[in-house]
Each structure stands twice: as structure tokens, then as C-alpha cells.
Structure 1
Amino acid sequence: MRIFYCAVLLLLPLFALSQANYHDGYVVKANGDTVKGYINAREWAHSPEVIEFKNSKSDKDALRFSAADISLFHITPYDTYVSYTGRISNNRNGFPNMDKRLDTTKTQATIFMKRVASGPNVTLYAQSDNVKTRYFYQEKSDVVTELAYYYYYNNSSVTTVVTKLYVGQLLLLHKKYNNDNNKNRSTIENSNFVESDLVKSINIINNSSSTTSNTQKGTEVVRPSNNRFFVGLGLTYTKTRFKGQNPFDGGDGGKTYTPKISIGYDAFANSQVQRVVFRGELSFNYISSKITSTQSATSGAVYSFNQGNFAFTPQLIFNLYNTDDLKLYVEGGAALTFSFFSNDKIVSGNSNITNQAKPYDVESFWLSYPFQIGAVINKKFDVSVGYTPSATYTRYTFFTLSNEVIGLNLKYLFNKK
């Protein structure tokens, strides 16, 4: 069961990549003609090689355009991709996927580049494939130039060499457009080869404090954040039971209703599409369980305990229905739970069993596999129903003690703008 459950979680992102998600947009053909319609905005792991375009959402078939077919496409209101034909670097520079020597070779290619920062002086583009992520800049309507960065092993394959040529390229742009003003120069000098740092550097060169990544018809459009925080409150029904060779196997009781509080963090695979979400949640609930033996030899004996549960649950969310105002999702993950126990005891119902304190060895750390279905309403409220199959927290050979949980949850989402 657990193998099947994990396989489903691993396959969800692949399923997401195949889902159609058409947004308003347009393409610009090589002759300069602009055609409005709808573009399938997928959860692209890398820059798209081909896009699917429809004049109307009701069209049965979609047109397919590569970077050789069009000069630009825009997905309203955020993403603009520009076609580029030229030489691109071949070196691998992302740890641990690195070259064992300096590789300065380049390949002729026609690609889609995503516009990630723009301004009056310089525009920054990004492109990624199975080799690496590349960044390019363009001065106004000048030629496109790749930012150069080399990170490779030396001949011993033990130590590494870092060559940040892109810093020099950016400093030359800074000198050209800022009269070599030393203000914010250190930000460029200390920048890493990541999008956030490069966007800051381009904004400095453009004399702009904006962190927006795109413009549409001359007006800056703020992209949605790639992440958000949330707080939650829930109600849980917990069924605690023994199974196996134990006098409380099949016993009555062990059913509690308790509140649960949670906080967490969501990260989107694609901030515009928001079909796939990676969630980390920290929660707490507290139960008081009593299990009464129904077996004749120990009839009336009661095993009771209090259990506080702190759980960290990494999860994967997939939106089956995905619009701005309403999202319907399925969610799965693995809960890493730390529990503390108190008042752990057996009270006898007859002379065949004696009173005992702490009669069983229970685990402080244990694992469970929760599953949820839910809805996000108006980007603010997340309502879900969850189920956690029986998860054990004992290590006995012939019996187990476990919790099975059904929960109703309400979360408030703090969406960044």
C-alpha cells in the first residue's frame, strides 16, 4: 500500500505536465503580425521548445509553434518569451552536475528565452534545458549576449574552479549607464549566478528599484509570488486501537474529537499556473484516549493515555480544477510526528489484570501518510477533508498500537503581491 501511495505521489508531477491549461495570450509571427488567442501554460520544468496555441478555447486542435516559427509569445498577464537564434554555451555549471575541465564550446541553437527583468537600458532573459540554466542580456535593441559563468572541477576532480565573468559584464553595463557611480556597485560585485541576484543587478543598471519581471503595453505587471504562508485550524477524529495478540485488541472506545492548529509554507512549481504546489506544514493536536477491553479474561480493563502530537508534513498538491477563483485539489504527503505521552496506564476491571503505569513502550517519533482533498476559494481560504490510514507507534512483534485520523481543516492563505 505504501509503495503504491509513494508511486502516486511521484507520478503526480508527470500527470501535471500533461494537463491543458489555456490562458489568454498572443503570439508574434516572424513577419511582425500579432495573433491573439490562448496559450497552453504548462508546468514547464525547462524552457518550452514548442507551445500550443488556440484561436478559441473551444477549438479541438491546437497549433504548435517553435522558436523558429514565431518571434515572441506572451501569456497574460505575466510571461513573455522571445525567440533567439545564436550560439549558446555547453558547459555544465550546477553542482554536482559539473564539467571536469573548462568547457568554452558553444552550439548554434534556436530557443525561447523568458524575459525576467526589463528597463530602459538592459533586458535580462533566462533559458533552461537539461544541461543548465543560462542568462542573457540585451541593450535596448542591440544583440543578445549570454552572461558567462564557469564552475568546474580541476584536473584532480577534487577541488573546483569558479570563474564569474558575468560580474565583469554587468559592471561594464553599470559603468556605461550609471557613469561608474559606486552606489550599489557592491551588490553587482557580490551577485551569485541566480535569477534573484541577476534581476537586482539589472535593476541597478536600469536605475530602477522595481523587482517586476515583465512589462505589458508599457505598464509594469507584478508577477504573483512563488510562495505563500498560511495558518490553519481543524477538527480531527482519531481512532486509537490495538491489533494483534493483545488483551485490548478489538476494544471499545479509543475515539476522540480534538482541535488541530497548523502553520505552513507553500511553494509553486509555476507561480502563474499554480497547478502543482509543494507544501510544508507544522501542526499540533492533543488527544486523550481510552480503550476498554471486551475480551472475557480482561473484561472491563481500561487502557488510557494522553498524547500530544507535533507533526511536520511535506506534501504535494495537484489542482485537478484550476482557476483563479476556485481550485479543487488532491494532496498527499508523509507526516513526521513527535509525540509526548502522559497518564499512560491500565486500570483493571477485575482480578485477572492488575493496574499498571506505563504498560507499553511507545515511540516518540513515528511516520504516517496523510491524504487530503480540498478547495481553495478566492485565493484566500483553503478547505479540506483529510484521511490518515492507521499508523503505528509501537515496535512489538505480535501486536501494534495505532492512530487512524479523519480531519476537517480550514486554512487562511497569505498571498504575497
Structure 2
Amino acid sequence: MKLLLKLSLLFIAFPYFAIAQNNPKPGYRVTLAGDTIKGYVDYREWDNNPTSFKFKTDPDLKFQTYSIANTSAFAITKLGYFEKQIVSVSMNKIQLSELSNVVDTGKITDTVFLKVLAKGKNINLYSYTDQLKTRYYYAETGIKGIHEFTHYLLKPKSDNNSFVEVNSTAELNYLAMKYNPAIAAQITGIQYTKEAMLKITSLINGGNEKEQFKTESKTQVLFFAGIGASYSTLKFTNLPALVSPGINKNNLLPYATVGVDIYPNKITQKLLFKLQASFVPDQHELFSSIPDYNNDITTTSLKFKQYTISILPQIVYNFYSRNNLKIYVGTGASVNLSFYNNYKYIVTYKSAFTNSTNSTKYPQFDSLWLSFPINVGIVLNNRIDIGFYYFIPSSITNYAGITGDITSYRAGISYLFGH
């Protein structure tokens, strides 16, 4: 219970660790006077376009917060580029449950940091995301003004369970006919997605975008292999002789593991998905000796070996992350396939005569069962992963009224490949 309490407190503290961390990446900010200042931006996984950011000119200085009020542009090199612009922002909804039968043309004018997606000889492409939706904008090179690409969804009057999409055909046809008429046929049916808008922008520009605005892939895949030690305890309920055995011998045994770590964002490296396969041997020995009122003694023993292949998908969160050190916590659900030796449940009655009964493979243990871990650990130099696992009590029996619960503890070290 104390362990669970400590782990619960750790989970509660996660947001505070996350907020306290900084993630400095090379970049720059442009002042309202047009001066470019190089330094470091505190990079975040912005789901929406930011309204402010943290910046410093030297690694040893503290971050200062800047906003739209005092910045005309800022960038994180190869990760994100933002320009301050006054734009018209469409307010029509895109959730099916919120759509109407008429086009909502409502707009507001706002000053925002637009994200630069591409710059070319003919047009530049931008995006703006808030809590409502993502919008795409274009500006013609050398011509003042930024325009939002049209995109509406509405329900047809005949069927309220579907929608009609009004896309950016008009603006794209205008741009294609002006700069590259040969691509006009590719406008029809274009999707309102980042990938599609980047592709059509490239065609309008003749494939002449500026390379510095193309960001790197953020996904990273690492493979790992490791070894460790496993210790587990077995506790029975409603199997009278072994509920409180005189001897409950457990063993510390080695295990081997391999797997893959997937970072959705390798820059922040906050969240990762881990898929782990392990081979875990286990052995238990339980023995009880119970005298009755005649001092006759009944002894009960159970000794068995268990070999388990486990597949463990996990969600892991690095609540402290620096180049040479990460501290993480995670959880998941392990699917376990176990094999057992030809064990016996032996009951011996000692009185004037000695009598024994043997029950082969009793109690019967499950071959397929689930367990649920909580794990914590550290990663050193992005190479060495040292982890500790606590598996909450999990049943390995399928008898009504008889429960055998295994509680496991593991400590392991793995080496990460693929950097």
C-alpha cells in the first residue's frame, strides 16, 4: 500500500514536473523593428498556434517570455516558423453534430502567429490552429495580403447524418491559372489537409520552395534489448492448507527482453509508446504443516516452475528530460503465455500410519493471463535504460472460489539502438 501511495503521488506530480521543464532549441526572434536576434526558443508541442513563447540569447541565461505584442516573427530551426499577421479567421464549425444546413460565413479579424509551412517564388503557405479547427492561408509573393483558403462543411437537408464539403477550389483555380495552368486539372477533389495543401503549393510554385521552411520528421523509432532479474510472490485464497503456508519460497531469477520505443515527437521526447517482449522464468515452493487435536500432522506441499512469454505494450512519460538523463514512469497491460512443469500438489497425513495423496497439476494454472505493471526508470546518454517494474497482484487460476495471485517485481537494464 505504501508503494502504491508513493506511485500515486508521483502521477499527481507529473504536470508540475512537465511545466517546470524547459526545452531550449536553436532559433531566433524578430523584433517589431525588424531586427533578427539569434538564441534559443523553449520548444513546446503546441497543439494550437502559440500566442507567446520563451526565448533567451545565451544558454546560461534565463528564458524571457515574448508575445505577439513585441515580436513580429520567431523560429525554432528546422522545427517551426511563425510570423505575426493580421488575418481574417473563419468561425464555422466542422464537427458533424454542430453542422447546419446553411454555410456559416462568420469571420473575425485577429492578430496571430501564423505557422509558415512553405515559401516559394509564387505563393507562401501558412496554417493557423485554435481550439475550433485548423485553417490554411496563402500570400502571393510580392503582393500584400494574406487570404484564408475556403473550407466549409454543411449538412444536406435530405440527410442530417452526412455532410457536404465546400473546399478551396476557387482560390486554387485562380492561383493555378495565374502561375501554372498545367496543374488546373489537379485542383478538383483536393483535400483540406496539410499534406494536400503542401503538394498543391509546390505545384503552383513549380517545386521551388525554400528548403529552410521544411521541417524534419518528428517521429523516432528505437530498438532495445536487455536483461534483468525478476522476483515474484504467490498467494492463495480459499485453498486452506496453503493460505498461510509455513514456507513460501520465492526465487530471484534472470529474464531477457527485446522491444521497440516509438517517440511521436523526438524533439521533446516527453511521451513514448513502448512494445516489449520478455521471457521470464519463475519458480515457487509452498509448504505447510498443520497438527490436529491428536497431534497428528498434515503436511501440504506445492512446487512448480513457470516459464512465461509476455507481450507488454506501454505508455511511458518522461517527466524529466535532458540530453544525458531522462526519468520516466509508465504503465500498460501485459499479455502472458505461460508453460508449467509436471508439478504435483502433495498432501501427507502422519498418524499411526503415513498416507499421501498426489494431485498432478493441481491447482490448475492459466496458460493465458493478464498482468498490469507500473514502471519507473532512467535513461542515461540516450543509450542505457534502467527500469523497475511493479506488477499488481494478478490471478493465474481459473477455479471458482480458489485464487492464486502473483505479485512481481523486476529490475532490468537495456541498450537502445537506432539513434
Distance 1:357 1:331 in 2: 38
Q: CA deviation at 1:292?
A: 1.5
Does the aligned pair in 1 maintain the 2:84–2:112 contact within 8 Å? yes
- Inter-CA distance 278–197: structure 2 relative to 1 (3 Å threshold): farther
SS at match of 2:29: strand
Amino acid at match of 2:121: P
TM-score, normalised via structure 1 length = 0.81
Q: CA deviation at 1:88?
A: 0.5
Distance 2:418 2:204 in 1: 32
Q: CA deviation at 1:361?
A: 4.8
SS at match of 2:126: strand
SS at match of 2:34: coil
Amino acid at match of 2:271: V
Could you report, residue by residue, the CA deviation over 1:325-366 in whole angstroms, capped at 9, with x for unpaired residues? x24121212124142434363253745552322523537242
Q: CA deviation at 1:73?
A: 0.6
1:125 counterpart residue number: 126
Could you report, residue by residue, the CA deviation over 1:84-136 in whole angstroms, capped at 9, with x for unpaired residues? 1121011222x467434532211111111111233333322222111112222
1:310 counterpart residue number: 310
Q: CA deviation at 1:152?
A: 4.1
SS at match of 1:160: coil
Distance 1:163 1:3 in 2: 51
TM-score, normalised via structure 2 length = 0.80
Could you report, residue by residue, the CA deviation over 1:30-55 in whole angstroms, capped at 9, with x for unpaired residues? 22122233322223232111122334
- Inter-CA distance 286–55: structure 2 relative to 1 (3 Å threshold): closer
SS at match of 1:278: strand
1:150 counterpart residue number: 152
1:94-243 equivalences in 2 (<5 Å): 95=95, 98-101=98-101, 102-142=103-143, 143-154=145-156, 158-181=160-183, 186=186, 189=188, 191-208=190-207, 215-216=211-212, 223-243=216-236
- Inter-CA distance 193–391: structure 2 relative to 1 (3 Å threshold): farther
Does the aligned pair in 1 maintain the 2:80–2:215 contact within 8 Å? no
1:79 maps to 2:93: no
Query: Which of residues 287, 292, 295 is equivalent to 2:285?
Result: 292
Q: CA deviation at 1:14?
A: 6.8
Does the aligned pair in 2 maintain the 1:302–1:346 contact within 8 Å? yes
Amino acid at match of 1:407: A
1:278 counterpart residue number: 272
SS at match of 2:341: strand
2:331 counterpart residue number: 333
- Inter-CA distance 180–376: structure 2 relative to 1 (3 Å threshold): farther
Query: Which of residues 248, 260, 265 is equivalent to 1:263?
Result: 260
Distance 1:42 1:20 in 2: 9
State the superposition RMSD in angstroms: 3.4
Q: CA deviation at 1:191?
A: 4.3
Distance 1:12 1:399 in 2: 35
1:253 counterpart residue number: 250
Distance 1:194 1:13 in 2: 32
Distance 1:22 1:206 in 2: 33
Distance 2:7 2:158 in 1: 43
Could you report, residue by residue, the CA deviation over 1:364-397 in whole angstroms, capped at 9, with x for unpaired residues? 24230231312153x5x35222212333124665
Identity of aligned residues (%): 18
Does the aligned pair in 1 maintain the 2:118–2:214 contact within 8 Å? no
Q: Name the stretch that deviates more: 394-403 or 129-138.
A: 394-403
In our comparison, the structure showing a higher alpha carbon Rg is 2
- Inter-CA distance 115–260: structure 2 relative to 1 (3 Å threshold): same
1:372 counterpart residue number: 376
Distance 2:17 2:98 in 1: 30
Distance 1:157 1:363 in 2: 51
Aligned residues: 396
1:343 maps to 2:334: no
Amino acid at match of 2:388: G
Could you report, residue by residue, the CA deviation over 1:252-279 in whole angstroms, capped at 9, with x for unpaired residues? 13543221222343312xx4333x1231
- Inter-CA distance 72–209: structure 2 relative to 1 (3 Å threshold): closer
1:354 counterpart residue number: 358
Amino acid at match of 1:179: P
Q: CA deviation at 1:215?
A: 4.5
